[in-house]
Amino acid sequence: MTTLEVSPLVEMVRGYYTNIDAGNIPAALACFASTAIYRRPGYEALNGLAEIESFYESTRVVGPGRHQIEVVIESDQEVAVRGRFDGSFRDGAPLRVRFADFWRFSAGKVAERNSYFDAPVA
């Protein structure tokens, strides 16, 4: 792979951030398997796509903004991302936070995602 080529897994992760920043939750979550698990500080693990969708539709406190990806590291079936989010909470309060996301794939879909933040976001 040359430095200009992007793997399908990295492309999928980048697409998630593009779609979530555009407010397109269905498109953002299309990469998740129906049995995916999402772990995020301050919340119980979200088990299955239905729980993940519900979280994004009604529980997630993060509002509009932009994810800026600084580093992407990929192994066989995993992608790690480090970056920052600049935007606001749903209530309009400003939010600027650094994050790291660890994505694990199975059969071309997200099987597990783990998010970490440098400040409380729950």
Q: Distances from the Cα of 92 to the Cαs of 17, 39, 63, 72, 82, in angstroms? A: 20, 25, 7, 29, 24
pLDDT tens digits, 88-110:
999 999 999 999 999 999 999 99
> What is the pLDDT, as a whole number, of residue 4?
61
Whole-model pTM: value is: 0.92
Burial of 53 (0-12, 13-18, 19+ CB in 10 A): middle
Domains in the chain, CATH or no CATH each: 8-117 (3.10.450.50)
Residues (pLDDT < 70) of the chain are 1-4, 122
